[in-house]
Amino acid sequence: MSVKADAPEAASGKRLFIVRGSGALFGFRARIIEDAISIPVVNASLHGGLGPGYLSFFAEQLLRRGDVLLVIFEYPLLTGDTLVNDRATFVSWARRDGYWHTLDLSHQLRFFRSFTLRRLISLSRNPPREASRAGGSARGVLICSPSEVTFASTTT
Amino acid sequence: MFSVRGDLRVDDNLDVSDERRSNFAMDSRNLPARQPQLFLDPRSPNLQSILGLIDAAKHMVVTVYATWPAVRDHELYRESYKRLVDSLPLFYGQVDVPFIRLEKRGFIPSKYIYKTAFHLNSIGATQRTRFCRCAVCTDNLV
């Protein structure tokens, strides 16, 4: 997730962001679009389980004036109320990104109600592992907290 | 190429690498599951948050486009998502967001699906992106 948040900063000028859940993460090739339109294209998609509220919040942090945004939310994300869920709350807590400030009062209450005392102690002692556990395995690896993302190899 | 824990890697554009999904084959574990009938409710908090993103983007003079998400082409999914598929262009049209119309309205043949109904394998991802690229280039959207 740190990679997702930091990499776009490197590109200057107009950029195109693809925002969605894992459907675009595993279903889109930003490079193909980039080669066609000659502006930096970033696949800013995360895990759909974070909910459209957190995905929108995350995308908003990346945008700069003049950018281009392609939104492709999966159908289950278009209905109901999943603004506050375990994944979003724990990832947001681990990243200290202030997501809860953007929620209305009833959702803020739900946000904090999801933290039991035991969970809070666990989070304060080991935020990365807790956030990763909330995110799940395989498809959730990109939502691990910043300290878990490693630049193991740089080939380009 | 960034390594993000385990064997999952993302490249400079943050696309997921092909190593894991290129060898994947559909089997009996990937049977389509019946989904609930869904429809767009403008009052739903999820939809409101998406509208919030669009508003914020427009406030920052960010150009927003939308398209259908990729879904496995199967009778069960076509039936479940029919109302959403039909109403999505209208919804985005109401908030002045240009809609990229793709062939088959985002339904992807099973041979291009990777594990879930919403994930594509490497060939599927390339093909779908090429359709989008064509739309982007043809309509001069960017």
Q: Identify which has the larger pLDDT, B13 or B45.
A: B45
- Cβ count within 10 A of residue B95: 13
pLDDT above 60 for B141: no
Cβ within 8 Å, pair B45-A23: no
Nearest residue on chain B to A132, alpha-carbon basis? B5
Cβ neighbours of B69 in A, within 8 Å: 20, 23-24, 72-75
In this prediction, residue A133 carries a pLDDT of 47
Are A53 and B49 within 8 A, CB to CB? yes
Cβ neighbours of B137 in A, within 8 Å: 36-37
Residue B29, C-beta contacts closer than 8 angstroms, at least 6 positions apart: none
Give whole-number Cα distances, B93 to A55, B38, B65, B87, in Å: 21, 19, 10, 10
In this prediction, residue A106 carries a pLDDT of 94
Q: How far is B59 from chain A (nearest CA, A)?
A: 9
Q: Are strands B2-3 and B9-10 parallel, antiparallel or unpaired?
A: antiparallel
Q: What ipTM, to 2 d.p.? A: 0.81
Residue A42 contacts B, CB cutoff 8 Å:
yes
Tokens of B21: 């999904």
Tokens of A102: 């953007």
Tell me which residues of chain A, numbers 48 to 77, contact chain B at a CB-CB cutoff of 8 Å: 48, 51-53, 56-57, 59-60, 63-77
Residue A88 contacts B, CB cutoff 8 Å:
no
Average pLDDT in the B88-109 region? 89
* Residue pLDDT, tens place only, B18-75: 666 655 555 545 667 777 777 888 889 999 999 999 999 999 999 999 999 988 888 8
Please report how the helices A30-37 and B122-138 are oriented relative to each other, as an axis angle in degrees rounded to 10: 30
Q: Output the CA torsion sign for B102, B107, B110, B116.
A: positive
Which strand (E) or helix (H) includes residue A16?
strand A16-19
Per-residue pLDDT of chain A (156 residues; tens, 9 = 90+): 655 666 666 566 789 898 888 877 788 888 888 888 888 988 888 888 899 999 999 999 999 999 999 999 988 899 889 999 988 988 888 888 899 999 999 999 999 888 877 777 777 776 655 444 444 332 333 333 333 332 222 222
In this prediction, residue B20 carries a pLDDT of 60
Cβ within 8 Å, pair A71-B120: no
Q: What percent of chain B has pLDDT over 70?
A: 79
Nearest residue on chain A to B91, alpha-carbon basis? A78
Give, as one character, the DSSP assignment of residue B12.
T
Say how far apart CA A123 and CA A117 lie, in whole Å.
10
Give whole-number Cα distances, B40 to A77, B36, B66, B87, B93, in Å: 10, 13, 15, 7, 14
Q: What is the 3-state secondary structure (H, E, C) of A24-51?
A: HHCCCCHHHHHHHHCCCEEECCCCHHHH
Are B84 and A89 within 8 A, CB to CB? no
Say how far apart CA A87 and CA A94 lie, in whole Å.
11
Q: Is A127 exposed, middle or buried (0-12, 13-18, 19+ CB in 10 A)?
A: buried
Say how far apart CA B13 and CA A50 lie, in whole Å.
21
* Residue pLDDT, tens place only, A1-32: 655 666 666 566 789 898 888 877 788 888 88
